[in-house]
Amino acid sequence: MSSTTKDSTNNNALGLSSPALTYTIRIAAIVFIAEALVMLFLAVVPIENAFFNGLFDSIALTLILTPLFYKLVYLPIITEVKLRRNLQKELEETNVKLEAYASIAEEQIKHKIDRLAGLRYIDMAITASLDLRVTLNVILEQVSATLHVDAADILLLNPNTLRLEHAASRGFRTKVLQHSHLRLGEGHAGRAALEARTVSIENLQKDAGDLLRAPLLSEEDFITFCCAPLISRGNIKGVIEIFHRTKLDINQELLDFVEALASQAAIAVDNASMFNDLHRANTELSLAYETTLEGWSRALDLRDKETEGHSRRVTETTVRLARDMGMSEEELKNVRRGALLHDIGKMGVPDHILLKPGPLTEEEWKVMRMHPVYARDLLLPITYLKSALDIPYCHHEKWDGTGYPRGLKGEEIPLPARIFALVDVCDALQSDRPYRSGWPKEQVIEHIKSLSGNHFDPEVVKAFLKSEMHYQVS
């Protein structure tokens, strides 16, 4: 074993570091030399003075105790200071690491909150609007805002052609993708839809592979690609695609969020589809109702050949006049239905009275005047037509209260019935009858004016004359 190793072992045994041992040896040497000099001085020069003897003894004692003081007092203090400094340094390093971890955690929490807020915003958009185009654009806005990607689009499945067709896009430099169509199973998007799974490509430059639209994307310089299927109630509705022009870390958290966006997009598509189907069914049902009413009206005209075409003419004119008098479009629907069915009650009048070529007797008039009541009894049980009863039930009432069947007066008569009463008389006077020819327009207008305030509502007469409406026999 070398002398250096031995010295090191001895140093460790004494509990001293190399600098401390060197310093101790030097102090011991100085003390030894000092003691030798003192002893030599005392031997050569005897000193009887007690003061000097005590002084030299103190110096000798101090020189002897100094190394011991260094080892027992000073060295432990130095060691403690070093330990505290090292501990302080470690604490500072730990604090720096904790701050870094806290910053990372805060950033992750912020990202999660932003994504949750984005999902909530999409939920609100789906709830607030049934316009699919608006909802899909909101979804793409949230994709860009929360994932910080360069571009995204949504392709919807056409159930008739089984092709994925462009529905909405954001962030693309060109519009070529708006005209692309993919069959199920074609390309990454078609495969994602067919297999109902998320597809991600970290480097499109190396793995364009199945991306059949790669030539269309050549000007976009995309690197990262991710595609998730839109699935609602087990049915594929389309796909959402995400593109980025630099490398993007496609981790599980990102994939989960993209799939959550895809689920919401699928719900929006499904809701819009159901609404459109419901709207279409409702439109078809309303059309069927209206067609049925028109069929009833034509049947009445065919039964009473003297009034053929009358229902169509008075219906069109009544609706126009009612609109001029400020009635809403919803009210006009019931005005139209009531005008079409204004004589539906005549189905309860016997043919020998309804089709009688000559004047009716008083008893026959009693039966004829019952047709508004028959109309009410016929239409009242039909919920769809309850709101259209005003004209069939009240169009023979007069402003002065002399009409039938209830003798209503003034504004007791519903406005639609007041409007129709004038239009009905006007058309009847212009139509030819077996017992008279139709009146000229000027004569009809003068007659209408003469009946203002007794037969007709004066305000309706004013509106009629102001609009210069007149009727010609078709």
Q: What residues act catalytically?
A: 346
Torsion of CA 69, 73, 76, 77, to 10 degrees: -130
- CA nearest to 241, candidates 221, 268, 261: 261
CB 202 within 8 A of CB 130: no
Strand-pairing partners, residue 156, are: 165, 238
Beta strands in 150-292 (DSSP E): 151-158, 163-170, 181-183, 199-201, 224-232, 235-244
Q: How far apart (Å, rounded) are the C-alpha atoms in residues 212 and 144?
A: 24
- CA nearest to 153, candidates 259, 226, 260, 245: 226
- CA nearest to 432, candidates 376, 474, 388, 390: 474
Q: To 5 degrees, how large is the angle CA 4–CA 9–CA 12?
A: 125
DSSP assignment of 102-136: HHHHHHHHHHHHHHHHHHHHHHHHHHH---HHHHH
- CA-based R_g, the chain, Å: 52
Which residues fall within 8 angstroms of residue 312, CB to CB, at 6 or more apart? 297, 301
SS3 355: coil
Q: How far apart (Å, rounded) are the C-alpha atoms in residues 473 and 427?
A: 8
